[in-house]
Structure 1
């Protein structure tokens, strides 16, 4: 579910919006005069999203290299890289 609030709500109800972001782990979209203006989100949720984006970029780059015929990695190397990526995402959750 998308959380949408008018931009004035951030001034009047900061604590409520902060709690909503933390409780749901989802961003709150703020509007100004009925038009999208800002997105507010919990720092931990932001860190998780950033980690996932970096992981997706790495996976996409690897797939593009594979398609281009570049040499790949062994199963052991791949397992180590995946473990490292999982640790990074897990560490980002802990903050």
Structure 2
């Protein structure tokens, strides 16, 4: 179950931060609508790494479609394997 709190609860930020755990973000609302998410730093870093990897994979796929794919043998030769 998501942990949702009004942003006004930040007046007692220690209590709010205590509720943040790996895999369990705290969502803050403002005027009854979702506004912010507090996440554990390890989760944040994992999300950023995932976004970077997905972006690089998309670039590679685009290059493959535009410039053509390499055969496994060509890749091994280029890498000296």
Whether TM exceeds 0.5 here: the answer is yes
Runs of 4+ in 1 over 4 A off after TM superposition: 70-73, 75-78
How many residues matched?
76
Q: Which has a greater percent of helix?
A: 1
Q: What residue in structure 2 maps to residue 74 of structure 1? A: 75
Greater CA drift, 64-73 or 53-62: 64-73
- Rg: which structure is higher? 2
Q: What residue in structure 1 maps to residue 4 of structure 2? A: 4
TM-score (normalizing by structure 2)? 0.70
RMSD over aligned CA atoms reads 2.7
State the shift of 1:69 in Å: 2.3
TM-score (normalizing by structure 1)? 0.62
Unaligned runs of 5+ in 2: none
